[in-house]
Structures are given as structure tokens and as C-alpha cells.
Structure 1
């Protein structure tokens, strides 16, 4: 599989459909909803990160290349990586 095919697979709904979303975790004014994506028998680190309400609400689809064998472990890693990204980027996450 080529690099372009790999990248296409990250964003293709047919190859990597999200599993059911988990409960929202609040962190430093952001909301993180883990949404592991099943991918070839494993789970891709993914979440929806939001901040604000109403018309001020901003959303970022957080998807990483990491594949994890266990759904529960994937959720744990997703939360850790999303929090680290929020710590590093803050509101710049939405730019």
C-alpha cells in the first residue's frame, strides 16, 4: 500500500468507520469525545474536540495514525494524546 493510499484511508469513511462515541471528558475548557475508529481489526486513535457553545462552538476532528489492538486501551491513549495536544496548542487547535 502506497503512502497516498494510507493517507486516503485515514479520511475514508468506508475503510475507517467510527465506533460508537464515548462519554465526553472535559479538560481545560475543552470537551473531548473519544471515537475510536475500527481499522483492519485494530482501533485508530480518534476523537472530536470542541470548545464553546452555540455559534461560538469550535470543533476539531482529532485523528492520529496510531493503531491499538484494544478498544479500551485506544480510548485511554486517545484521551492522553488529546490532552497533550490541548496543552501544546490550546485554541490554535482550531486554526
Structure 2
């Protein structure tokens, strides 16, 4: 039965890659990396915000519901969302 689910789009885990799908930028001392993944034939907004604090690299991963047909669009929105998180929360994002 699981074969039929996969064949018709049901079940299975989202296709995530360990490597960043797009680019990485620096914003106000933070690193914002776009990591959109393919889900249901589209690319879902996803990324990582990181910063080194007292010699330790802290990371905050985020996923948003936005999906795009083009990978470049998903990367652009992922970077924008990451910058928005930094602007709104700063280092509190790691609490």
C-alpha cells in the first residue's frame, strides 16, 4: 500500500537536503542561510539564522508555509524572512 501512496503523492517525508539550497548572507552580525526544500512539487520557505555568541555558534531553524514553483523565489523569500526574524528578535531568537 505504501507504494501506491508514494505513487499518488501521499506519505513519505519531505525531500530535505543537508546542504544549503541557496545562498547565505550576513545581516546585522547574523548569518542567514536559505535552505528551501521540495515538498509536493514546490519549494517550501525554510532557512537557518545563526550567530557566534561567546565562542558558541547558536542556530535557529525556521520553516514557513509559503511555497514556490521556482527555487530562486523560495531562496529570496527565505532570506527575507530570516532578515525579518533578526530585525524583530535579535539575539532573543536563540532563547
Q: Could you state the TM-score of these two structures normalised by the residue count of structure 2?
A: 0.76
CA contact (8 A) 1:43 1:70 kept: yes
Secondary structure (helix, strand or coil) at the match of 1:86 reads: helix
Aligned-residue RMSD, C-alpha = 2.1
More strand by share: 2
Moved >4 Å (runs of 4+): none
Q: 1:17 matched to which residue of 2? A: 16
More helix by share: 1
CA contact (8 A) 1:18 1:38 kept: no
Larger Rg: 2
Q: Which has the higher contact order (CA 8 A, sep 6+)?
A: 2
Number of residue pairs aligned between Structure 1 and Structure 2? 83
